[in-house]
Structure 1
Amino acid sequence: MTGRELLRMVAAQVCVHGVMTGTRLAAPLLALQIGYSAAQVGVMLALFALSPVLLALSAGRLADKHGLRLPMHLAIGGATLGAGIAAIWPIFPVLCVSALLTGAAAATTQISMQRHVGRAAKNTSELKAVFSWMAIAPALGNFLGPLIAGVVIDHAGPEPAHEWGFRAAFAVLALMPLITLWLLRGAHEAPPEPSEEAPADRSVWDLLSVPQLRLLLLVNWMQSAAWDVHTFVVPILGHERGMSASTIGVLLGVFAAAAAAVRVVLPILSERVPEWGVVLVSTVVAACALVAYPLTPGAVSMGVCSAVLGVALGAVQPMIMSVLHQITPPNRQGEAMALRIMTLNFSSFLMPMLFGSLGAVLGVSGLFWLIGGLLVVGAPSVKGLRVDETPHERPGDPR
């Protein structure tokens, strides 16, 4: 895959992901403005993570069977429809449907894109490089979608945050997937390999029977829990210390920026260090940052911890995806990627509730130290992600 083709894939994912994140900003704000409670808005927000849990596996199997185009056309249609109906009927039930549609579209896009670029890679070094670049797409989408939605909401109506401003924001978001459609024209699909005939009675349990895949999902979940605890706890810790909303926002922004920045330089580093080595170092560094975070005295030192944690956790996903691609047979790669997304989204759906319950008992510092301890305990198992050079039996092999 050429650099130009890879950039087109990154931009294509940014556009669909940006629809989801823009809708995730606009829909709750509109719901609160028209009088719905915080609890009802919380249910709506959960739907963004729930739809990938329910549909990711089907999306992965669709990508395995049909390649890039059909899943992406469905994702583009879902994202456009999700934002479009919110522009036409900005009422709470429709906003909930929009959350389901845009969440499913973003997950389908991620699965299809990751499978596509992984199959286009010619060797392990290129595999790590393309996944590093593709990992930048969600970060850019997290920035671009809310920025577009916020600006339009404040400036498109007769006054800021007017209903017509929200309608206009959803309408603009609905147009973004059309850019994806243009970017994907001429995308070259890797030809199927002779051994890619999928068994008719295959089950996801076949994949979970592979010890290395189970370990990979566990390691990835630990990193995700560290990411979630930072997102959940930093606003609470900042509030307890009397920090302003803008200061707390800067702390979260530093974390996100560091996570995106490390993925730019990761292709250079990954040529010299194996995937499991990067994940192991990242796990140890993240554990140290989590343990130190509650002990930091002020905003500057908290910002340093946020940056260190962002670098550590940001480096993990491309390496995880590279290992996942290598340990999964070609006819099951989309399904395996879907299984990973299901696991992480289900965790993101449940972990905030668990953190809230544990925080009442352990306190804010206790949550950081609990997840930091989890990473320390789990760090030795990362060595099990070492990919063997010799062939080995995988689910779906004819042997």
Structure 2
Amino acid sequence: MTGALFKVILSQVAVHATMAGVRLAAPLLALKQGYSAASVGVLLALFALTQVFLALPAGRFADRHGLRRPFFIGMLMASTGCAAAMLLPTFPMMCFAALCTGGGSGIVVIAVQRHVGRATHEPAQLKKLFSWLAIGPAIANFIGPFFAGLLIDHATFGDDPVSGYRVAFGLMALSPVLAWLWVRTTRETPPAPRLPEHGGQRAWDLLNDPTFRTVLIVNWLQSASWDVHTFVLPLLGHERGMSASVIGTLLGLFAVAATVVRLLMPLISDRLREGAVIAGAMAATACLFMVYPFTQSALTMGICSVLLGFSLGSVQPMVMSMLHQITPQHRQGEALGLRLMVINASSVAMPMLFGAAGGVIGISALFWSVGVAVSCGVKAAWGIRVPEEGEERMQQLPR
């Protein structure tokens, strides 16, 4: 990986860490101010909600303008949201910060993913680059909340009970600006040719391609599995009588395993076919979801969490590599935006669905239901192959 791409990935980490830090600080401040758990749930949903509506426009904008201009807009949104929460730390302003930081990080993610994907046309190299890129959010999800928590606890001053939060929001507002200083001189990749007949194409036309549609479906199943584990594990741990620290450790083991497998992927990606990796991961996930409800101790649950982290963490680099191979160059940002829109819409809706379903059928049955759904996608994932003339075929989709 070149130094220029390394700087771009680090810059994305800085913006994502801002969003992750606000996602910790804002709910804590809302609870401190006496708001209910339901209000906090709405606040958390806003981080993903903006991306549902901005993902497609952001993808099209990245297709037209490359990396720097979308990155600047995302940086400005994230920084403005943090600054607003620093100046006026009220619940409505924290909702505004959630919308801004969530939307800004989504715009940056699409621009960076498109830029990295266009840096090479070798499938093996694509898998390696997207493995490195996939590590970024895991790192950001650690450093953002970690430093936000330190500032909240130790950067207090005077008699202001929320001074630590103000300092945290203020310093997080600087992180995207520093990221922009890193990427503002980055050389753009050559623009993709856009012919006059491409002007009438719509994002949903991409779904007419069976390979693209299958990749999107299996990616959604992987994302839903990730969401159900994150949502249901605390409930299952509470049902087993485990403490909050033990439950937190189990979730941490899952995140560490997902990061480790992404660190290993660049070393072995040359020997792997994307469809085979995704199918294997989905089969392992389905089996683990069937076994998970039978675990009773923290040790056995920890083993399942680690194995789930390995299986689910291996999927995203393969999906991103395939998307760039099967999508026309002038529509890669649009395809990434469509994927991000679907994933974030799922992240908004699925926790509510999981909560309702869990109350009706029980936690164990919820695990088994998702496991069955994932197993149904294994055959389709195994059959995914990148067509040799994928780009030309995609350009001829019905409009």
Could you tell me which residue of structure 1 aligns to residue 114 of structure 2?
115
Matches of 1:122 and 1:113 in 2, distance apart? 16
The equivalent residue for 2:29 is 30
| Structure 1 residue 72 corresponds to structure 2 residue 67 | no
Residue by residue, what CA displacement relative to the aligned partner does 1:227-262 show, whole Å, maximum 9, x if unpaired?
011001110011111111000000000000100110
Give the C-alpha shift of residue 122 in structure 1: 3.7
Paired residue for 1:100? 99
> Is residue 259–residue 313 contact of structure 2 (8 Å, CA) maintained in 1?
yes
Q: Which residue does the alignment assign to 1:264?
A: 263
Shift of 1:398: 9.7
User: Partners of 1:108 and 1:202 in 2: how far apart?
Assistant: 21
- Deviation at residue 59 of structure 1 after TM alignment: 0.4
Tell me which residue corresponds to 2:308: 309
Separation in 1, partners of 2:295, 2:158: 42
User: Helix, strand or coil for the counterpart of 1:162?
Assistant: coil
Cα distance, 1:22 vs structure 2: 0.6
2:233 corresponding residue in structure 1:
234
Deviation at 1:196, TM superposition (A): 6.1
Q: Output one character per residue of 1:192-231: Cα deviation in whole Å (capped at 9) or x when no partner.
A: 2445667222211211211111111110111111101100
Q: Distance in 1 between matches of 2:8 and 2:391?
A: 31
Give the equivalent residue in structure 1 for 2:4.
5
Decide whether the 8 Å contact of 1:329 with 1:397 is kept in 2: no
The answer to whether the 8 A contact 2:87-2:166 is kept is: yes
Q: Distance in 2 between matches of 1:301 and 1:341?
A: 33
What aligned pairs does 1:1-399 form with structure 2 within 5 A after superposition? 2-158=1-157, 162-194=161-193, 199-391=198-390, 393-397=392-396
- Rounded Cα–Cα distance in structure 1 between residues aligned with 2:63 and 2:249: 40
Cα deviation for residue 294 of structure 1 reads 1.1
Q: Assess if the C-alpha contact under 8 Å between 2:82 and 2:170 holds in 1.
A: yes
The alignment-based identity, stated in percent, is 50
Q: CA deviation at 1:334?
A: 0.3
Q: What secondary structure does 1:199 align onto?
A: helix
Per the TM alignment, residue 85 of structure 1 is displaced from its structure 2 partner at its CA by: 0.6
CA distance in 1, matches of 2:285, 2:31: 36
Q: Secondary structure at the match of 2:362?
A: helix
Aligned CA-pair RMSD: 1.8
Ranges in structure 2 where 5+ consecutive residues have no aligned partner? none
CA distance in structure 2 between the aligned counterparts of 1:4 and 1:381, rounded to whole angstroms: 37
Query: Which is worse superposed, 57-66 or 381-390?
Result: 381-390
TM-score, normalised to structure 1, is 0.96
Q: Decide whether aligned partners of structure 1 residues 275 and 159 sit closer, same or farther in structure 2, where only a CA change above 3 A counts.
A: farther
**1:197, 1:331 within 8 Å by CA — same for their partners in 2?**
no
Give 1:392 shift.
6.0
Deviations 1:75-107 (A, max 9, x none): 111111011110001111111111100000111
Letter in 1 for 2:289: L
Offset of 1:390 from its aligned partner? 4.0
- List per-residue Cα deviations over 1:14-57 (Å, max 9, x = no partner): 10001111111111111111121211121111111100001110
- Provide the rounded CA distance (Å) in 1 between the counterparts of 2:97 and 2:51: 13
Number of matched residues? 398
Cα 1:258–1:74 shift into 2, 3 Å: same
> Greater CA deviation, 354-363 or 68-77?
354-363
- Aligned-partner SS, 1:385: coil
SS at match of 2:393: coil
- For the residue of structure 1 that corresponds to 2:254, the secondary structure is helix
Counterpart AA for 1:364 = I
SS in 1 for 2:188: coil
Q: TM-score of the superposition, structure 2-length normalised?
A: 0.96
Is the partner of 1:224 in helix, strand or coil?
A: helix
Kept in 2: contact 1:80–1:174 (CA 8 A): yes
- 1:117-142 residue CA offsets vs partner (Å, 9 max, x unmatched): 00001411111110100001111111
CA 1:367–1:185: 2 relative to 1, 3 Å:
same
Q: Which moved more, 1:376-385 or 1:156-165?
A: 156-165
| C-alpha distance in structure 2 between counterparts of 1:171 and 1:332, whole Å | 37
CA distance 1:159–1:310, shift in 2 (3 Å): farther
- Between the aligned partners of 1:167 and 1:282, the Cα distance in structure 2 is 42
Inter-CA distance 194–50: structure 2 relative to 1 (3 Å threshold): closer
Deviation at 1:160, TM superposition (A): 12
Q: Is the contact between residue 258 and residue 311 of structure 1 (CA under 8 Å) also seen in structure 2? A: yes
8 Å contact from structure 1 (residues 258, 307) kept in 2: yes
Structure 1's unaligned 5+ residue stretches are none
Is this contact kept in 2: 1:290–1:368, CA < 8 A?
yes
- Partner Cα distance (2:314, 2:196) in 1: 34
